[in-house]
Chains A and B, each alone.
Chain A
Amino acid sequence: MSEDERGERDERDERAGEVGEGPGVAEHGAVATAEMAAGGRGEQSLTEDHRRREESITLSSEPAGAGETHELLTLNIGPHHPATHGVLRLIATLEGEVVRDIKPIIGYVHTGIEKTAEDKAYWKAIPVVERMDYLSYYFNAMAFCGAVETLLDLEVPPRAQYLRVIHLELNRIMSHLVWLGTSALDLGAVSMFWYCFRERETVLDLFEMSSGQRMHTRYIQVGGVMEDIPHGFEERLRKFLNNMPTRADQYADLLEKNQIVLERLRGTGIVDRETLLALGVTGPLLRAAGEPWDLRKAHPYSGYEKFDFKIPVGTVGDNYDRYRVRHAEFYESVKIIEQALDGMPEGPHITPDRKVALPPRHELATSMEALIHHFKLVTEGFRVPPGEAYYPIESPRGELGCFVRADGSAKPARVHMRDPSFVNLQALAPMVRNGYIADLIATLAMLDPILGGIDR
């Protein structure tokens, strides 16, 4: 090595030192060059050798992020960008390729659903409320109906509770499938998308069978569910439940033996448990950091205390843990549905209280009273005594709470959703700060924000 070369390398090492906290490309490059020059290859695997050669390549004379002036670049991402999982706009402050700060800007799909709901009778508000978080419509309806049932002091029949649990958990699987497919797509694994959407299709077919709709089903009603499950539903559901664990195994095989996926997920976007708790983050993100907080266990609703299931938790709190926690929830949801199917009690699927639920169709032909109830419910709706209720449930993304204020009329005076995506989005900045912009995309995918829920 000539004198000149050595001088050049020293200079580069100094620059790399300046980068400091940012992941140093230059540092790696310099070290690799030095070692290769010394001829010390030693024993190493094929990939390590590949990495070493890859890192020794310097594309520009100026290492990334180590300019003399430390110039900051403000980059606008979105709102229309496929990697933002909706209409999310991000203002990123970059130093080279390192994200120094990020500000999410939301509100692009604000449709005033909470305001619209104030103008609808309670049972007509369910369809609009369902459209908030468009991947977990059963959960939105459940939170809203739960709050109204609390205000009415209404008991839900056991069979309705079981039917709700079955559909909620199917919805959780469906939501996680969409998350897994689109996240893998962001990481470059296109085939995962098709596999996940194949299973999602099966779930949507089941939804169609029980409610007539694939999405925004309006299946959950105040006092129970719309209809009992039809003949043949259980058989098809069991077939799906038999398949699903194998499919989930296949996803794991595809992703967890893929080095690109592993390297992009492991050790990126780490935020510790205390920060997440302070930011009010809930759901798989919090569980991935090691906090076993799940409302289904902590504060059971709709009969969840009767089922035997585990809460998957992570240890590190990086993107890999977030992936693992949601992936493990596939198996737990399947277990819950199986138990619900096995132990399904007989009885009505909706409360027999005629003041709240529509009378069965056949009664209309014979009973004048049923006809009056039907007429009153369809025209005015039921009245709810004045009061306030907050009903939190565990949605696929965390605590979904519905606040309802009733003023004694047939329309809610205020409906407010505590949407988990809205609160969780605040954790994006601590997750991506001082990491690469490529990791920002992976972290955003693992955050799983649903903009319909954020903006409402």
Chain B
Amino acid sequence: MPDATGLELIAQEIRNEDAETVLDTEFHRGRAVLVINPARVKSVLAFLQNSGFTALMSVHGVDYYPHEPRLGVLYEMLDRKEVDRISVKARLHTDDPRIDSVTELFPGVEFPEREVYDMFGVVFEGHPDLRRILMPEDYEGHPQRRDFPVGGEPVLFTYNEEQNYGKYV
């Protein structure tokens, strides 16, 4: 992990290219996070990719309810040479959450981005195959959001097959 100073240096380097890119930095328990402007996600990840963080290991979706903007997309970058990790966080509002897909830079995020779309409803623009991945195609809602209730899933039987299947009642 880059230390707190290293994180600020990276943030400053990105800010030098485009001042509106890095909104904030977080350093907690040895974990370095760049909080970025969601519109610049591609350029930030491309910059990090060129500066050694060649692997994007994971994409997490997070719901920060009740804080605004509610949704967060987190990218876990890994530098295999220096064995260093840095996280990139983009915060999005729940009404029309959109962010650029980074599948062009990292083809391996196809499934993880689909998962975030499925679970949180974040639309990744430019994703080659943005469909639900774990939930059924006709499912309504995004179950990992904090305001999505647990339980109460109707089971489809003959007597209720006319009802809207998959919708929470």
Contacts and interface: CB of A to CB of B under 8 A. Distances in A.
Contact of A280 (B55, B62, B136): B55
Given A119-B150, A422-B111, A299 B83 contact: yes
A91 to B, nearest CB: 13
Interface in A303-340: none
B55 A418 contact: no
A401 B28 contact: no
B57 A414 contact: no
A426 B76 contact: no
Contact of A416 (B60, B87, B136): B60
A280 B144 contact: no
Contact of A423 (B30, B112, B134, B136): B112
A391 to B, nearest CB: 10
Contacts of B166: none
Contact of B111 (A399, A416, A425): A425
A426 B135 contact: no
A372 interface: no
A158 B112 CA distance: 35
Nearest to A116: B150
B165 interface: no
B106 A280 contact: yes
B29 A418 contact: no
Contacts of B54: 277
Size category, A interface: 35 or more
A325 B21 CA distance: 43
A20 B28 CA distance: 56
Size category, B interface: 35 or more
B108 A112 contact: no
Contacts of A423: 58, 108, 111-112
A456 to B, nearest CB: 8
B133 A414 contact: no
Interface string A144-186: 0000001101000000000000000000000000000000000
Contacts, number: 98
A448 interface: no
B61 interface: yes
A31 interface: no
Contact of A107 (B74, B108, B134): B134
Given A151-B29, A390-B76, A423-B108, A418 B143 contact: no
Contacts of A107: 132-136
Contacts of A278: 106-108
Interface in B111-150: 111-112, 115, 132-136, 143-144, 146, 148, 150
A405 interface: yes
B33 interface: yes
Contacts of A133: none
A111 to B, nearest CB: 10
A390 B58 contact: yes
B30 A150 contact: yes
Contacts of B143: 112, 115
Contacts of B33: 388
B111 A387 contact: no
Contacts of A110: 134-135
A227 interface: no
Given A115-B144, A388-B28, A423-B112, A401 B133 contact: no
Interface in A264-294: 277-282, 293
A403 B154 CA distance: 30
A298 interface: yes
Contacts of B110: 426
Nearest to A293: B80
A294 to B, nearest CB: 11
A114 interface: yes
Contact of B58 (A277, A293, A403): A403
Contacts of B85: 390, 392
B28 A418 contact: no
Given A110-B134, A389-B31, A422-B111, A401 B57 contact: yes
Nearest to B139: A107
B108 A279 contact: yes
A106 interface: yes
A411 B134 CA distance: 24
A27 interface: no
B44 interface: no
11 contacts: A107-B132, A115-B150, A280-B106, A387-B28, A388-B74, A405-B62, A416-B60, A418-B60, A418-B112, A422-B111, A423-B111
What 3 A-B pairs come out closest when comparing CB atoms? A280-B108, A418-B58, A279-B108
Interface of A: 106-107, 110, 112, 114-116, 118-119, 150-151, 153, 277-282, 293, 298-299, 387-390, 392, 399, 401, 403, 405, 413-414, 416, 418, 422-423, 425-426, 455-456
Interface of B: 28-31, 33, 54-58, 60-63, 74, 76, 80, 83, 85, 87, 106-112, 115, 132-136, 143-144, 146, 148, 150
